[in-house]
């Protein structure tokens, strides 16, 4: 492990200008590549006290043995050079957006004398027209099978094409009308190329005009009593419509755009890309990457755009790139994209309309992909066993922690303090043992005090259950009841969400109760550090550790349950405060109303008839409730729990929406 001070550049030797830098290890291999508006400021940030750096950054600077840099004229040049070096050196500390598979494209080999339709993967070739990417090759073949009836372009390999010409007999597709058989001279090369051009134009989105032309020809043939030709044209139109149904229009005006969203956690990021061409979704890409760099979401997006479009040909970059989060250097990235495409590229976050709705779909897909990735990892027995073994070794526990409990506290500006306790057994969630706590003794953002109270209450229950079930030999009790023993089983490891103060509070609560057989640790969010009682320094698990992934899943689950509990109580409190002044709404009616409309948002959305349908309410009380809710809703208010925006007019609503989303 190298000391960064041994290779730190001399003061004043690093220029204060844009550039790209490389960290190399003792063997001269490049381990990290980065760019900066100011090389001096950026490089100085790496040579601080190693203890103050992010663990991943600290791992990089201690693995390196030297650093060098290249000065460039503009930030766009820096972006381009950074991509070139990442592609050339493949540094292990840079995030690499590699797909877990090679996505298929529908390709038309326009360079051939007789163009061919085929499925291609991998690097793109010159003079080949690509459409896609598609999720599966079978999706391409289904669409092509429908379109070949109308555009009988050859799909055979060059060997089959030459062999058919030699024997003077076409393949099966030539006999059934799905190939124009240029191999035996049924049509000329020019006629076949026109078919290929029509096929490409149709996939480009020029569908309406082509279908209308076919329908016009069908009517003309019918008028001339050419019924066989009219029937064939009718079937062609039906085939084209079936092909179009597989790619429904999602955006109007023939939009060409890529929609990109990232869902992340401290260790991984899931990426979803929808390719929209001619207003239709032509393909989708999805992959999960490990975050080997200390990057925030805008920096992740910048690296994603750099690597995705750096490998694309210029015709693969659309006019619009719609993203869930703008890159860190928005103008620089947009200029780089425009330079590669040869024309203006709109890089933005859509705020309203169909594009925003579609981007939300892409974002949900990314979130679900990340959750599915974690679930698959958690479902592997070998992986779970490895995670528990790593936790036991790193925390020096006497046994593997087969039962882990985690506590998280949630509040809103110090009010409505609640906590959650989730349980994992053998690395899997045991939801029947989850518990929720309401902290009633105080208000305020005092997580330490809240942790102490929750731990005390949970383990007082543990001690009480042991007494009731006869676990103490000195007590004369009857047979134990399984219903009372659910929480008499203590955890092997208690995890609290937080750092050293929260861990100390949990350990103090256990000591006050005389419990010394439960291990305690804390997981800090910022650097994924694991704190132990009485230890001045945290335990840092390796980035690829299965134990760290298990800790993160447990912490995230505790956070989810705490937030859901807090929102539920907050909504009930808001509903009660709004309805306090409604005449004729007593405790029984209010309870029935709460069952019918569990949240304030649902109650606001209900009309008088729906409210009056609740048992005991009636039209008069329903009208009073609606009036009370209307008087409680100001012009433009944001629900602090859900982020929903309630407003009286569209102009006010748009302003509020921008303030919240931006």
pLDDT, tens only, 245-268: 555 545 666 678 899 999 887 778
What's the whole-number mean pLDDT along residues 373-402? 82
Q: What is the distance between the alpha carbons of residues 573 and 266, in angstroms, rounded to a whole number?
A: 34
pLDDT mean over 19-31:
89
Phi, psi dihedral angles at 19 (to 5 degrees): 180, 180
Q: Which of 528, 389, 546 is nearest to 59 (CA)?
A: 528
pLDDT at 653 over 60: no
Contact 565, 436 (CB under 8 A): yes
Lowest-pLDDT range of 66-80, 239-253, 486-500: 239-253
Note whether 257-375 and 381-561 share their fold: yes
pLDDT band at 646 (very low <50, low <70, confident <90, very high): very low
Tell me the per-residue pLDDT of 82-122, one tens digit each, with 9 for 90 and over. 888 888 888 888 877 655 455 677 888 988 889 998 888 76
Residue 662 has pLDDT above 50, yes or no: no
User: Among 210-224, 338-352, 625-639, which stretch is predicted with the lowest mean pLDDT?
Assistant: 625-639
Is residue 196's pLDDT more than 50? yes
Check whether domain 4-89 has CATH 3.10.105.10, yes or no: no
pLDDT higher at 488 or 201: 201
Output the pLDDT for position 609: 83
Can you identify the CATH homologous superfamily of domain 580-661?
Answer: 5' to 3' exonuclease, C-terminal subdomain (1.10.150.20)
For residue 438, the cross-strand partners are 418
Residue 34 has pLDDT above 80, yes or no: yes
Q: Which residues share a beta bridge with 415?
A: 412
Q: How confident is the model at residue 23 (pLDDT cuts 50, 70, 90)?
A: very high
Q: What is the pLDDT of residues 442-483, one digit of tens each?
A: 655 678 888 999 999 888 887 876 665 554 433 333 344 444
Query: 379, 505, 488, 399: which is closest to 452 by C-alpha?
Result: 505
Query: Omega before 133 cis (within 30°)?
Result: yes
Contact 243, 143 (CB under 8 A): yes
Helix-then-strand count for the chain, H and E:
21, 20
Tell me what pLDDT residue 520 has.
93
- Per-residue pLDDT for 239 more than 70? yes
Which residue would you say has higher pLDDT here, 327 or 598?
A: 327
Domain 257-375 has CATH 3.40.47: no
Q: What percent of the chain clears pLDDT 90, i.e. is strictly above it?
A: 9
pLDDT per residue over 124-172, tens digit each?
777 888 876 665 666 677 778 777 877 888 988 888 888 988 888 888 8
Question: Which among 437, 421, 425, 391 has a CA at the least distance from the CA of 532?
Answer: 391
Specify the residue for token string 């360079």: 111
Alpha-carbon torsion, ordered 69, 289, 49, 40, to 10 deg: 30
Rounded Cα gap, residues 81 and 87, in angstroms: 10
Distance CA 610, CA 337 (A): 53
Phi, psi of 561, rounded to the nearest 5 degrees:
-65, -40
What is the per-residue pLDDT for 261?
Answer: 93
Please name the residue ranges forming H helices in 429-545. 447-469, 500-512
pLDDT for the residue 650? 31
pLDDT band at residue 28 using 50, 70 and 90 as cut-offs: confident
Phi and psi torsions of 131, nearest 5°: -130, 130
8 Å CB contact between 77 and 273: no
Instruction: Take residue 419 and report the two structure tokens written for it.
Output: 């906590």
Instruction: Identify the band that residue 519 occupies on the pLDDT scale cut at 50, 70 and 90.
Output: very high
Specify the pLDDT at position 636: 32
Percent of the chain with pLDDT strictly greater than 70? 79
Across 99-113, 191-205, 422-436, least confident range: 99-113
DSSP state of 539: B
Domain boundaries of the chain, sorted by first residue = 4-89, 96-204, 206-246, 257-375, 381-561, 580-661
CATH of 381-561, one of 1.10.3080.10, 3.30.420.340, 3.30.70.3040, 3.40.50.150: 3.30.420.340
Q: How far apart are CA 278 and CA 286, in angstroms?
A: 21
549-590 pLDDT, tens per residue?
Answer: 888 888 888 888 888 877 776 655 555 556 666 777 777 777
Predicted local distance difference test score (pLDDT) of residue 312: 63
């Amino acid at each position: 492990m190298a000391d960064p001070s041994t290779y730190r550049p001399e003061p004043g030797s690093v220029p204060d200008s844009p550039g790209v830098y490389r960290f190399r290890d003792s063997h001269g291999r490049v381990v990290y590549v980065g760019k900066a508006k100011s090389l001096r400021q950026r490089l100085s940030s790496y040579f601080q006290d190693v203890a103050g750096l992010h663990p991943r950054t600290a791992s990089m600077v201690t693995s390196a043995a030297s650093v060098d840099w290249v000065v460039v004229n503009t930030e766009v040049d820096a972006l381009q050079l950074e991509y070139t070096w990442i592609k050339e050196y493949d540094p292990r500390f840079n995030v690499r957006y590699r797909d877990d598979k090679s996505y298929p494209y529908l390709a038309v080999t326009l360079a051939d004398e007789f163009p061919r339709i085929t499925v291609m993967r991998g690097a793109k070739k010159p003079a080949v027209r690509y459409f896609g990417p598609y999720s599966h090759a079978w999706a391409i073949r289904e669409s092509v099978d429908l379109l070949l009836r109308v555009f009988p372009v050859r799909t055979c390999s060059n060997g089959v094409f030459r062999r058919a010409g030699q024997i003077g007999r076409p393949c099966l597709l030539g006999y059934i009308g799905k190939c124009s058989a240029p191999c035996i001279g049924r049509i000329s090369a020019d006629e076949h190329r026109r078919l290929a051009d029509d096929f490409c134009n149709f996939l480009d989105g020029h569908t309406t005009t082509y279908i209308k032309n076919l329908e016009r020809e069908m009517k003309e043939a019918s008028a001339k009593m050419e019924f066989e030709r009219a029937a064939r044209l009718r079937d062609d139109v039906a085939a084209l419509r079936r092909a179009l149904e597989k790619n429904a229009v999602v955006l109007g005006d023939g939009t060409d755009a890529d929609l990109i969203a990232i869902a992340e956690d401290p260790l991984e990021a899931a990426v979803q890309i929808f390719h929209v061409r001619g207003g239709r979704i032509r393909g989708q890409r999805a992959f999960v990457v490990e975050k080997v760099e200390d990057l925030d979401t805008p920096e992740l997006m910048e690296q994603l755009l750099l690597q995705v479009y750096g490998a694309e040909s210029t015709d693969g970059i659309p006019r619009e790139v719609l993203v869930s989060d703008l890159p860190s250097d928005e103008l620089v990235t947009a200029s780089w994209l425009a330079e590669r495409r040869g024309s203006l590229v709109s890089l933005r976050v859509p705020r309203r309309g169909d594009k925003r709705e579609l981007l939300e779909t892409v974002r949900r897909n990314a979130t679900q992909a990340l959750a599915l990735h974690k679930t698959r990892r958690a479902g592997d027995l070998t992986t779970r066993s490895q995670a528990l073994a790593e936790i036991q070794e790193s925390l020096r526990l006497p046994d593997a922690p087969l039962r882990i409990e985690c506590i998280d506290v949630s509040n809103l500006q110090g009010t409505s303090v609640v906590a959650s306790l989730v349980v994992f057994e053998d690395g899997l969630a045991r939801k029947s043992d989850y518990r929720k706590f309401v902290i009633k003794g105080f208000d305020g953002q005092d997580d330490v005090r809240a942790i102490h109270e929750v731990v005390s209450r949970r383990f007082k229950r543990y001690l009480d259950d042991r007494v009731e079930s006869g676990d103490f030999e000195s007590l004369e009790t009857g047979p134990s009841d399984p219903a009372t023993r659910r929480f008499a089983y203590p955890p092997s490891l208690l995890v609290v969400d937080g750092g050293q103060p929260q861990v100390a509070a949990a350990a103090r609560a256990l000591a006050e109760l005389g419990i010394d057989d439960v291990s305690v640790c804390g997981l800090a969010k910022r650097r994924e550090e694991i704190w132990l009682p009485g230890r001045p320094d945290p335990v840092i698990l390796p980035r690829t550790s299965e134990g760290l992934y298990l800790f993160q899943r447990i912490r995230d689950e505790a956070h989810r349950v705490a937030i859901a509990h807090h929102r539920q109580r907050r909504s009930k409190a808001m509903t009660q405060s709004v309805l306090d002044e409604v005449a004729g709404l007593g405790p029984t009616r209010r309870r029935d109303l709460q069952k019918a409309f569990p949240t304030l948002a649902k109650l606001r959305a209900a009309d008088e008839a729906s409210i009056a349908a609740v048992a005991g309410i009636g039209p008069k009380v329903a009208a009073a409730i609606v009036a009370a809710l209307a008087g409680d809703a100001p012009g433009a208010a944001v629900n602090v729990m859900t982020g929903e925006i309630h407003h009286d007019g569209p102009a006010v609503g748009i302003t509020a929406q921008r303030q919240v989303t931006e």
